[in-house]
Structure 1
Amino acid sequence: MSRPSRPVPLPRIAPSPTAEPPYDDERGPSDVPAAPPYVQGTLALALDPGEPEARRPLVWGPPGAAPDERRLRALCQAVAEILAGRRPPSSVFPHMTRRAHAELIRSGKVMNCARPPLVGTPHVSQPDDGVVEMCVLVHCGDRSRVLALRLERRGVQWLCTDFETTP
């Protein structure tokens, strides 16, 4: 004998959550994700310099000590990216004098690179107390260029006062 058949339940349709994140204007103030607490492998540079009085001092170690090579290389990388047109000049404003920053803006894009420029190890010299000069080889695809920077200590901060690159 066969058992009496029970009715089969019908499938239920349930709403699925949206797969896309909400647009910025749909988010509430509590939905805004917090900024990451670290900077991965780059020099932390402010993108909006604000007023000149809002400059934060660039302290690279104990007062009077020369900046370490890793930070010098990161500054060279940032300047090379600006000269290649891949970074805004305002990102290094707190790290340069007004004259050097104006010259950086005036020079514009002088490095033509299909890929982002890559800087090598800086060659650093200290010609005088409170002065650091360095040059670095910038690899721009098939062609390499040289970038030279001069930093001077102003109080406890180091500022880039001049830069040069090959044409």
Structure 2
Amino acid sequence: MSHSPDRHQCPRPVCAGTVAPHARRGRAADPYRPMITPGRTPVRRPLPGRCRAVLEGHRTPGEVRLLAQQMAEVLVGRRAPEALRDRSSPAVREELRRLRGALPCRSAPRLERVFHQRSGDRLEAGAVIACDLRSRVFAFGARRRGGAWVCTDLETDGSL
């Protein structure tokens, strides 16, 4: 049934005025508006023809996020590298000793984002730290040892 903008004939009782309220809704009125049924969320899938790994989920595990926060605190100088003795390899601890306090930050570092990707028993993560008016970035690799993630590699944004 078509509706004219000035007057229409509609059997629906909701259409008491001159313009039908339901005539403005739906795909016909806005072809770019997605049609989502109530109670259902559209599934996110990678675009066809693209070679990329499917992410496991949107949320980084809490223990990985905590490890990133602790490493950020070492980089700012608010935590000793020895505090991460059980959570980092000797090479990473040595790197943290060298970089300790390299980020000038008057307040406690705040993680803005933490990204992660798993590949087998290995995990690679990246974190963005908010320090005063600047944002800094570091990345680390971790492996599962004894039920916990242990940092095995560390890279910073190069300005440290």
Instruction: Identify the TM-score tier after normalising by the shorter chain.
Output: 0.5 to 0.7
Per-residue deviation at 1:72? 1.1
Q: Which amino acid in the other structure matches residue 82 of structure 2? A: S
CA distance in 2, matches of 1:157, 1:77: 15
Q: Which amino acid in the other structure matches residue 111 of structure 2? A: V
CA distance in 2, matches of 1:133, 1:146: 14
**2:105 maps to what in 1?**
113
CA RMSD of aligned residues (A): 1.5
- 5 Å-filtered alignment, 1:45-60, equals none
SS at structure 2 position matched to 1:149: strand
Any stretches of 5+ residues in structure 1 without a counterpart? 1-67
Per-residue deviation at 1:112? 0.5
CA distance in 2, matches of 1:106, 1:147: 15
Per-residue deviation at 1:82? 0.6
- 5 Å-filtered alignment, 1:143-158, equals 143-154=134-145, 156-158=147-149
- 5 Å-filtered alignment, 1:11-22, equals none
Equivalent residues of 1:81, 1:117 under 8 A apart = yes
CA distance in 2, matches of 1:120, 1:130: 26
Q: Which amino acid in the other structure matches residue 103 of structure 1? A: E
SS at structure 2 position matched to 1:87: coil
**1:79 maps to what in 2?**
71
Per-residue deviation at 1:132? 0.2
* Runs of 4+ that moved beyond 2 A: 153-158
Structure number with greater CO (CA < 8 Å, separation at least 6) is 1
- 5 Å-filtered alignment, 1:91-130, equals 91-126=83-118, 128-130=119-121
> Structure 1 length as normaliser, TM-score?
0.55
